[in-house]
Chains A and B, each alone.
Chain A
Amino acid sequence: MATMMFVVNMLTMTFRLAVPIALASIGVSISERAGIINLGIEGIMLLGALGGAVGSYVFSNAWMGILLALITGIAIGVLYAFFVLKFEANQSVIGIGLNIIASGLTVVIVKFIWKKEGISGIVTQMSTYSVPFLRNIPVIGAFFTDQSPFILLTLLIALACSYGMWRTKIGLRLQAIGENPLAAATAGIPVARYRTGAIVVGSSLAALGGAYLSIVHSNLFVSNMVAGRGFIAIAANILGGWNPMGSLLASLLFAFAQALRFQFSAVHFPDQISQIIPYVITLLVLVGVGRKTRAPAKLGVLE
């Protein structure tokens, strides 16, 4: 029974840790399929986390936080598209710049609203739900007890994006743009419009992932609370093969590695070693599998 509980704990924790990475990673897949690199995911998540905290704080309603996070994501997406498509600025430079701005700007905003250094006040946290009856089943009942609706939402988003990518016109056209933008343009596809759309959707998903950290996973904003998850999301996208469903699975793998670390810490395993577990797994997997996946042919090239 104890091992069973351990496994269930591991799995629920894995799902909880996977949500922000998965959302951002799916966003990266969509934008990169359209040939746009976005290294600013980390910063977008951070701004999304703050947007969520502010919305939740002002309206005392976590869903309003989600809404504000989404608006933040859309706004950054439009801005990013403006820079890299209209002015053809270097995508990597803009992305890195975005990360730096986000890490500074969020601290300033926190100071302005809460008059505190790098940490917000307590905000309304999103409530969890328990499924009646199912929660009473021994062991697996844990999956249906006090869980965040975000886990289900993430699964639905992954399914929807996967369907959109592989079955619809929009998906085929996005892929075509990432592979050969000139060919897509000559086929009559409005390339810039599709790219803008892909950037905005990608950025919104990343912001949503960020908001999860501040108002679902916890109930406050802390400076730099994204802590590298944006970059892990980019790695998960590569591992997942530039594919929404693949991104979700890769995020689960990375989250599992983190969950493992927490479990080890709990049993007084030397922390210095357990802390490196997620990173070692990330590296090994990327070296092993990451080589076999193929990026869109014209990733980062506008033409």
Chain B
Amino acid sequence: MPAILMKQISKAFDRLKALDHVDFEVDAGEVHCLLGENGAGKSTLMNILYGLYHADAGEIYIHGKAVHIANPKIAQQYHIGMVHQHFMLIESMTVLQNIILGNEAGRFAIDYAENRSRIDELERLYHFDFDLDKPISVLSVGEKQRVEIFKALYRGADIVILDEPTAVLTPQEVDVLFRILDDMRKQGKTIIFITHKLHETMVLSDRVTVLRNGKIIGSLRTEEVTPKILATMMVGYAIDFDIVKSTFKPGKPVLELRQLKVLAASHATISLQVRQGEIYGIAGVDGNGQQELEGILAGTAKPLSGRIIFNGEDITAMPAAKRKAKGIALIPSDRLQNAILPGMPIIDNYLLGFQHNSMFSHFGILRFNVLKKHADNMVNQYSIKISALEQPISQLSGGNQQKIVFSREAGLNPLLLVAVQPVRGLDIGAIDAIHRQLLQLRDRGKAILLISTELSEIMEMSDTIGVLYKGELIAQRKAGEVTIEQLGLFMAGERPE
């Protein structure tokens, strides 16, 4: 009898069908990966199981018994726990308070001594070691995640759902997480692991279920599949994984950062150089100054100190519009906020940032015929699927939106492209397309600064790799002269000798 059986689950948000007659089955004691692209419906399905969403149709059975899970409290009563992608922790409260919240010992007043002894017991069983009196806000991301897992165990979960748990971790923290999951499996827990990473699925799971566009594509034993099969199931067509990079032929320096201080909280600075025909990749865990650096390079924020040299010219104080005119293209990390105007037509989005370009406007009068020709050209060249240039860009998939941003920024022959998380939230097909286009730009002699928290992306694309830690470029290596493990250590703040 399966631990969990979800039958014919359907769920729609407004008109969008998130789940379409989904059948999902998990056996007791197994690690089950729920694999799929962003927006495939993985989190929605699990939020239904955890009582945060309610299915429009379908049934849920736990150990063979039909149940109605109206809210998380009821899910907990069925011994289901969930570790969300965005942690459900109260930053200002202590580890202890967060663990016990909602399940406090004591009748009216909280019996902290009793709570502590219960926690101690469970900590020994699962080899956790928390400082219970520390506030959550001072913990590292990995520690916060461990508190979340422990919270689920403390509430008596036998079935633990983890939503994209590795997205925020360094490789070393991923190892720790996998050890904890192994411990849990040995204790007889059932684990549902939501992910879009093939590698993790192969390493971790006993069984894998693939979701695509809200439908189940298949459920297989992991030993029977290969990453290639899984990828094809995930995206619906065969993907050629092998990107071939041409040899690295750097030209003269294009961008130079001189002791750029981006974080007020630290004295550290960033110094680096990006040359023609080079992809300089900046790795690092999110929140180490990437966002600040992005703003400073875009010209929307000022560095606390230091200088930015572009083509031999000091542009530290140059405003954003002028930088763009000089040939600095930018793919912002937050597409919806900073890269597009969601409600406006595609053609207007092609104008965004280039409205002062003499190609598109004369004396403030827009030349729509030129713009239309350019946009048409770009859409064809980058094979972007649209129905008309007048269509609002918000109707497109994330991948096609990003291709439009990419073609807009790269299409007018920039000298430098700053790409921040250029493939965040995209599906494999779109990631592949963007990556190939980045390499093409490189081969055409453009300088590219790639800022990404995805280590695999950095490893795959970069010619030179720098690691950002607390606002400091803590290490710099040539690609091929550094392993993913070493990068992981730098990302965690360890300095190279």
Interface of A with B (CB < 8 Å)? 163, 167-170, 172-173, 175-176, 179-180, 182-190, 294, 297
Of B97, B100, B109, most buried by chain A (CB within 10 Å of CB) is B109
CB <8 Å contact, A188 and B93: no
CB <8 Å contact, B72 and A185: yes
Which residues of A sit under 8 angstroms from B82, Cβ to Cβ?
A: 186
CB <8 Å contact, B109 and A172: no
Interface size on B, residues (CB 8 A): 27
Measured CA separation A183–B89 after assembly (Å): 6
- Pick the contact of A186 from B84, B91, B104 — CB < 8 Å? B84
- Pick the contact of A179 from B72, B91, B108 — CB < 8 Å? B91
Q: Which residue of B lies closest to A189 (CB)?
A: B102
Residues 97-127 of B, flagged 1 when their CB comes within 8 A of A and 0 if not, give: 1001111101011100000000000000000
Measured CA separation A169–B151 after assembly (Å): 17
CB <8 Å contact, A188 and B88: no
Which residues of A sit under 8 angstroms from B97, Cβ to Cβ?
A: 172
Taking the complex as formed, is B76 at the interface, i.e. its CB lies under 8 A from any CB of chain A? yes
- Pick the contact of A188 from B76, B84, B110 — CB < 8 Å? B76
Taking the complex as formed, is B366 at the interface, i.e. its CB lies under 8 A from any CB of chain A? no
Residues 378-394 of B, flagged 1 when their CB comes within 8 A of A and 0 if not, give: 00000000000000000
Chosen A-B contacts, 21 in total, with CB atoms closer than 8 Å, are A163-B109, A167-B109, A167-B110, A168-B109, A170-B108, A172-B101, A173-B101, A180-B88, A183-B89, A184-B90, A184-B102, A185-B71, A186-B50, A186-B72, A187-B103, A188-B73, A188-B76, A188-B155, A189-B73, A189-B102, A294-B92
CB <8 Å contact, A169 and B108: yes
Taking the complex as formed, is B52 at the interface, i.e. its CB lies under 8 A from any CB of chain A? yes
**Least distance between A22 CB and chain B CB atoms (Å):** 24
CB <8 Å contact, B102 and A188: yes
Measured CA separation A169–B93 after assembly (Å): 14
By secondary structure, the A interface counts as helix
CB <8 Å contact, B91 and A169: no
Which residues of B sit under 8 angstroms from A175, Cβ to Cβ?
A: 90, 93
CB <8 Å contact, B88 and A187: yes
Given the known interface contacts A167-B110, A172-B97, A172-B110, the answer about A180 and B91 at a Cβ–Cβ threshold of 8 Å is yes
Measured CA separation A179–B101 after assembly (Å): 13
Given the known interface contacts A168-B108, A172-B97, the answer about A188 and B90 at a Cβ–Cβ threshold of 8 Å is no
Which residues of B sit under 8 angstroms from A184, Cβ to Cβ?
A: 90, 101-102
Residues 41-68 of B, flagged 1 when their CB comes within 8 A of A and 0 if not, give: 0000000001010000000000000000
Given the known interface contacts A168-B109, A169-B110, the answer about A186 and B52 at a Cβ–Cβ threshold of 8 Å is yes
Which residues of A sit under 8 angstroms from B72, Cβ to Cβ?
A: 185-188
Q: Which residue of B lies closest to A171 (CB)?
A: B110
Which residues of B sit under 8 angstroms from A187, Cβ to Cβ?
A: 72, 88, 101-103, 151
Which residues of A sit under 8 angstroms from B151, Cβ to Cβ?
A: 187
**Least distance between B102 CB and chain A CB atoms (Å):** 4
Which residues of A sit under 8 angstroms from B106, Cβ to Cβ?
A: 169
CB <8 Å contact, B92 and A297: yes
